Structure 1
Amino acid sequence: MRCRDFRSAVLAAALCASLAAAASAQTTLRIGLAEDPDVLDPSIGRTYVGRIVFASLCDKLFDIDEKLNIVPQLALSHETSADGKEMTIKLRPGVKFHDGESFDAEAAKFSLDRHLTLPTSFRKPELAALDHVDVVDPLTIRLVLKTPFSPLITQLTDRAGMMVSPKAAKAEGEKFALHPVCAGPYKFVERVQQDRIVFEKFADYWNKDNVFIDKIVFLPIVDATVRLANLKSGGLDLIERVLATDIKDVRADSRLKLSSALELGYMGLTINIGNDKNKGGLSQSEKVRQALDLSIDREAVNQVVFNGEFVPGNQWISPEHPYYQKAFPIPKRDLAKARALLKEAGVSAPVSVDLMVPKGAENEAVAQVLQSMAAEAGFDLKIRLIEFATSFKQAQAGEFQAFLIGWSGRIDPDGNAYVFLHTKAPQNDGVYSNPEADKGFEDARLISDSAARKAIYEKVTGIVLRDEPIIYLYHRKLLIAHTTRLEGYRPMPDGLVRVVGLKLK
């Protein structure tokens, strides 16, 4: 080979390598969501899809691993005092927020104080025992509690542990959710409601050596069939909440991978007890609510809608959870008893019920099955389909009688119950109130011994299952599918997508 030819070949190879490097440097991960999140503010947000988005945007003090162990994130360690009323947390050095501000003890105190004091915060009950936060030194905080609070560390693995930039939060005020600034691997670029949320890699992320994808685009696509079609065609790289009926189809496609894990939470019917402007039958008597429960065959719902893939349930935790109360097994369908309860309650059939249902194939199918079953007991469930984020606004306003809605779940049972069932808790949309149940939930927060806590929860479970503020139906399997181009994905028990470590071939 002549020198010129050799030089040309080298230049051509270098050019190809350069182009390949440029192409690989501009990787974009496209994630299909089942709904559009509500607000991108960790103090105010309350949706599961919002938590999926936050996992890329807002690091927390602690996280969980695949086996539900608590692991460090923005914190390095924690130590609880012997009386359970103080927790000292050592913070990670060298962390920056997306606006370049340093994360330190003052910033951590600001975020926790904000969760507690922001008027619209949904984190207040999660941190209810927290009296104040002391700054011990630039990288150490001390959480001083009013009483011992056993779920505290688990709360700090979720939105209550997310840290926001004090500078940005003060500057943006109520508009912080429009330009959120946290300390996660990706920073906010733009959001177009019902269309897309765009993030780009944060160059100064504390763990940047394990972030390999340049951009993430979240695309809300309510129709699960359309989500899957986009994944198959290459328009998406990962989708959450694959339909149970599509499992075989996904597994049959060599270009796709499917992960499955039983959720920590539940799906159920939240009943409007204390804020029903129309004073319907469900709000007037627990016997009517019990009758509706007895009209439902949970296993039949599972078989008809989910091909038997999900797990029927009747409590805020699944039958596989160590805190599940076996003294209260899943009730069998009993139409005769249901009709008798309606008669005892003095309610004439058919009992009309406004059933609010967020749009989505599985939700709609479940609602239709429930409607058919309940009709045989004397109920007329009037299904009202509604956009997901709007359903939360109507729920808070009391504009429903029954609400088919799920909860993604938390490690500790407190995280699945207190916020929905304690009097005046911010997500108690049905305005349920029972002082005896309140005391049980409060007492369970004071002790860490699991056997003693389970005994308390047994009593509370009996109260709640009698009052029926929520009719628990089933526990979903978290079905996430992604293209084989995506490497490093780890299925997590909370169903959230950890983007650190992911690569696109």
Structure 2
Amino acid sequence: MRRLLALAAVALTVAACGSSASENASQGTASSTAEGGTLRWAINANASWDPVTSAAGNEVRHLGLVYAALIQIDQQGQATPGLASAWKFEDKGLKLVLTLRPDVTFSDGAKLDATVVKRNLERAKNQPGSVLTQLLDSVKSVDVVDPSTVRLNLSYPDYGLPLVLGGKAGMQVSPKALDGDIKELPRKPVGAGPFKLTNFVPDGSSTLVKNPTYWDAKDIHLDGVELRYLNDPQAILAGLQSGSIDIASSTGNQIAAAKRAGLNVSTFPSLSAASIEINDALKPYTDHRVAEAINYALDREALIKTQNGGLGEPAFQPFPKGYVGYSEEVANLYPHDVAKAKQLLAEAGYPNGLDIDITYFDALGYKALTEQIQAQLAAAGIRSKLKTLPLAQAAERVYVKHDVAFNPNGIVGRESPLQMLNVQYGAEGLLNPGRKASPELTKDLKDAAQYPLDSAEYPAALQKATARAARESAVVFLFTQPTVFLATKKVSGLRPYIVAARLEGVRLAK
């Protein structure tokens, strides 16, 4: 959909992330004809298997194993046919018409049709507590034109909507499951994706088996997947070495140890970034100068070196350099300047420094990152007390109750760059704890939505919104995080999906 502009942007993103053929030689030595086997994947725990209640961005990797979406997002982040085989905008962008793929069957035997899609979209938009409501803000109503055609009537042109429908908002739940107790969906999902869940142990593991009715099964070579919810890097490394784990989602600071252990390492371009979620509805962050002081106090290069093995680039916005939403205007918005940080604190009424609480997740890497942030802030007179937060409580505390003021965190990117901006900075954005957005920013975000993704005006409008958001928001971005996989030599066929990892093409040697 983005055509040449996006292709150029993605190429630049690949270059910016520093991925190379030699780094990614870890595609493995497994036979190219290998079929079957159960892949054991060390990954973060997911709190919900229901796309409507799944608040964590990185859970899209889990959900994508079970659910198929209306749009398929390819390796470069482009919108391609999914459960919808075709789509088109009509009425100057105020209608989006989707043509559904015929003969799609859910893992429980139910059939996909336009009525099912209408029901799923209305649930995603209107169910109380849905985390997808804002993503479908432009959708005024959904019409069933015929069994294979759905029309989305929009309140304003939203040309990025097909990309949004490639994520959680477009994932389709079986009508049989919707007819049952939907409160069971977070534990018992039923979709039409490549696998189906057979067992879920919260904070422990999930077991999935291949779905024989998946519409795009040609590139699914595994019999199943076992997700191991592990946070301890030493346990993960030991599991890979012993062979009890086949592959692990990891970070840059584990690469050296993995290579020494003889494991394969893959690094791919990504839309992920480390950040600090600051709730500017809570004091002392209601004064924007405090957030600015924190930004100036941080030495991002030092954080990258220590926390991510030197992998990544300093970040002041949610997009990597070269991506279509990246703004050169704020490329170096807050250079490391302790004196400037102290000056801003004094202007905000804290000439003798400031005492704050930092709440970090009890999960892989967050403690070390938080302690380094704590030390850097102390040099500017920002003294802090550390508190831990169980990962299982993270989404509710940070994004629902909004009672956490300062939280080292991160984003995994979204299918649409405009969606990412709305989620992070919009007045109702899930990742915007303070729920603040100026009228000017709100207008910029809506203005960017009115341009087709292949138009000349789209990148400039998007980047204008990015620059304003970066200046106004209390969210602190730290550094980009390319995707890192550690794997045994049994694993091959990993592909560089820029938005979210998928298992198409992955094989496991016997």
Which structure 2 residues correspond to residues 141-290 of structure 1 after superposition, within 5 A? 141-208=150-217, 210-241=219-250, 243-254=251-262, 256-274=263-281, 276=282, 280-282=283-285, 284-290=286-292
Q: How far apart in 1 are the matches of 2:58 and 2:39?
A: 16
The 3-state SS of whatever aligns with 2:291 is helix
Choose which of 489, 497, 501 in structure 1 pairs with 2:494.
489
User: Offset of 1:452 from its aligned partner?
Assistant: 3.0
Relative to structure 1, the CA distance from residue 81 to residue 404 in structure 2 (aligned partners, 3 Å threshold; closer, same or farther) is same
Offset at residue 225 of structure 1 (A):
2.5
Partner of 2:342: 339
* Secondary structure, counterpart of 1:303 in structure 2: helix
CA-CA distance at 1:281 after TM superposition: 1.7
Instruction: Supply the AA of the counterpart residue of 2:465.
Output: V
- Change in Cα spacing, 1:228 to 1:346, as seen in structure 2 (3 Å) is same
Specify the alignment match of 1:478 in structure 2: 483
**1:150-204 residue CA offsets vs partner (Å, 9 max, x unmatched):** 2101101111110101221221222221211111121121211111111122233
* 2-structure distance, mates of 1:319, 1:364: 28
Give distance in 2, aligned partners of 1:413 and 1:68: 10
Mapped contact 2:166–2:415 kept (Cα < 8 A): no
Moved more, 372-381 or 441-450: 441-450
Aligned to 1:420: 424
Letter in 2 for 1:264: L
In 1, are the aligned partners of 2:421 and 2:466 still within 8 Å (CA)? no
Q: Which runs of 5+ in 1 are unaligned?
A: 1-23
1:290-331 residue CA offsets vs partner (Å, 9 max, x unmatched): 111110111121122223211111011122323211122322
**Cα deviations by residue, 1:449-487 (Å, 9 ceiling, x for unpaired):** 655344434443444333332011111011012222223
Provide Cα deviations, 1:358-398, integer angstroms capped at 9, x if missing partner: 13453222211211111111101322222222122211212
Q: Is the 2:141–2:154 Cα contact (8 Å) retained in structure 1?
A: yes
Instruction: Report the Cα offset of residue 38 of structure 1.
Output: 1.7
Provide the rounded CA distance (Å) in 1 between the counterparts of 2:374 and 2:90. Answer: 52
Shift in Å, 1:30: 1.0
Structure label with greater radius of gyration: 1
CA spacing shift, 1:446–1:262, aligned 2, 3 Å = same
The one-letter code sitting in structure 1 at the alignment partner of 2:427 is T
* Aligned position for 1:17: none
TM-score, normalised to structure 1's length? 0.88
Query: CA 1:77 to 1:237, structure 2 compared with 1: closer, same or farther past 3 Å?
Result: same
Partners of 2:451 and 2:189 in 1: CA distance: 36
TM superposition shift of 1:264: 1.1
CA distance in 1: counterparts of 2:104 and 2:476, whole angstroms:
44
Instruction: Describe the shift of the 1:468–1:421 C-alpha distance in structure 2 as closer, same or farther (beyond 3 A).
Output: closer
| CA distance in structure 1 between the aligned counterparts of 2:507 and 2:45, rounded to whole angstroms | 23
Distance 1:501 1:290, change over 3 A: closer
Tell me: CA distance 1:215–1:140, structure 2 relative to 1, closer, same or farther (3 Å).
same
User: Offset at 1:129?
Assistant: 0.6
CA distance in 1, matches of 2:36, 2:166: 31
What CA distance in whole angstroms lies between the structure 2 residues aligned with 1:39 and 1:123?
A: 14
Cα deviation 1:84-109 (Å, max 9, x = unaligned) = 11222121112111211111111111
Q: Please tell me whether residue 27 in structure 1 is matched to residue 37 in structure 2.
A: yes
Q: What whole-Å deviation, never above 9, does each CA across 1:421-473 have from its counterpart, x for those lacking one?
A: 21133442222232221121122112226553444344434443333320111
Answer yes or no: is the 8 Å Cα contact 2:42–2:228 preserved in 1.
yes
**Mean Cα displacement is larger for which, 459-468 or 400-409?**
459-468
Do structure 1's residue 77 and structure 2's residue 86 form an aligned pair? Answer: yes
Q: Which residue of 2 aligns with 1:45?
A: 54
Where 1:134 maps in the other structure, the secondary structure is strand
Q: Which amino acid aligns with 2:156?
A: T
Show the counterpart of 1:498: 503
1:305-344 equivalences in 2 (<5 Å):
305-330=307-332, 331-344=334-347
1:301 is aligned, of 303, 319, 324, to 303
- The aligned amino acid for 2:404 is F
Contact 1:264/1:408, CA 8 A, preserved across alignment: yes
Partner of 1:51: helix, strand, or coil?
Answer: helix
Is the counterpart of residue 113 in structure 1 residue 122 in structure 2? yes
Q: Secondary structure of the residue that 2:365 maps to in structure 1?
A: helix
| Stretches of 4+ aligned residues off by more than 6 angstroms | none
Which of residues 447, 468, 480 is equivalent to 1:443? 447
